[in-house]
Structure 1
């Protein structure tokens, strides 16, 4: 799900401007015989990720013990799922995001039943809850041309509830599906 063309410079950090670390949560939960996860739609604002679909998460703050704590804290802040209810089971590959100069570290967590999701209206305007079955469905995948001067890319994306889920979020979800398919 990585945008094309693959331009190594686009995916490399600038040594003179180190990337800021951020943590996101892939929060899995069972419902109706499938596994689901929440995605958030950001409000429109002046910023690189305005209006985009993302995993709950954000930048590392001074009081965070580590990147996992960042992902847990941000999940509670953005969608109201209590840290104590989440069992952390691992992490996925880190990703550098050139548009915002972030290095994102995805944490995978599970809750044993459908969580009560209470979005913070300042940070989240919509919550999507795709299932792993939906993410595996190749009919829900497509590609679109996107322009970010000086780049023009062909970006693969997931179509989830009429929303375009692309970029780092799509790459993280694709890795998750691939790993689960390898196991099962």
Structure 2
């Protein structure tokens, strides 16, 4: 009997996890109580290819206000018309890369991730049921590409780097893949998934 290539991901989603943040590797940062955070959802779309399971990622437009030019999952803030963050992630994936929500099987969510830009982001893991033709949304998405799930969930592939941010040295995870520099919230979410998949 053929096993489901996403068994390890589904098992990982059943395990207890902790919320994460862009400040995880910076223990000296004290986040103020009661800080305003905007709810958002990102879709982590997983698609099976003959050469293995892939994660669909985007390169954000360099013209965007938040995280310009960065590698990201399709997603965005929860709007009034969204039932929840899962609905927000599905809607944004439809808008950003033309992934029809009817072509998606939601597998589950991971604990929320807090970003330096004041969002509380829920990662929504999902199986893409059939191949589709991704169409980047002009002005928001510069490129859509795929990375091997085995690569971006291998803890040995992650590197801790740092840069100055608002006058302080900030450390963060990166998981480079070919020409793509995956870092920040996207890399931190992938690292959380990687850690849970090792359990």
Q: For this structure pair, what is the TM-score category when the shorter chain's length is used for normalisation?
A: 0.7 to 0.9
Q: Describe the shift of the 1:181–1:137 C-alpha distance in structure 2 as closer, same or farther (beyond 3 A).
A: closer
The separation in 1 between residues aligned to 2:56 and 2:123, in whole angstroms, is 14
What are the ranges of 5 or more consecutive residues in structure 2 without an aligned counterpart? Answer: 1-19
**3-state DSSP of counterpart to 1:37:** strand
**Residues 50-99 of structure 1: CA distance to partner in whole angstroms, max 9, x if unpaired?**
1111110001111111111000000000010001111111001101112x
2:15 paired with 1:5: no
Structure 2 residue matching 1:164: 3-state secondary structure: coil
Q: 1:96 aligns with which of 99, 114, 122?
A: 114
1:162 is aligned to 2:179 = yes
**Residue matched to 2:137:** 120
Q: Distance in 2 between matches of 1:115 and 1:178?
A: 30
For 1:55, the equivalent position in structure 2 comes to 73
Deviating beyond 6 angstroms after TM superposition, the runs of 4 or more aligned structure 1 residues are: none
Cα RMSD over matched residues? 2.1
Aligned residues, how many?
A: 178
After superposition, what is the alpha-carbon deviation per residue over 1:126-165, rounded to whole angstroms, capped at 9, x for unaligned?
Answer: 1221011222456643333211113212322011232221
TM-score of the pair, normalised by structure 1: 0.86
Deviation at 1:34, TM superposition (A): 1.2
The answer for the alignment partner of 2:7 in structure 1 is none
Asked if structure 2 preserves the Cα contact closer than 8 Å seen for 1:57 and 1:74, the reply is: yes
| Cα separation, 2, equivalents of 1:119 and 1:181 | 33
Give the TM-score normalised by structure 2.
Answer: 0.80
Deviations 1:1-31, CA, capped at 9 Å, x for gaps: 966333352xx4651x410000100111100
Q: Measure the CA separation in 2 of the matches of 1:128 and 1:13.
A: 37
Shift of 1:105: 0.7
Q: What SS does the aligned partner of 1:28 have?
A: strand
Which SS does the other structure have where 1:75 is aligned? helix
Unaligned runs of 5+ in 1: none
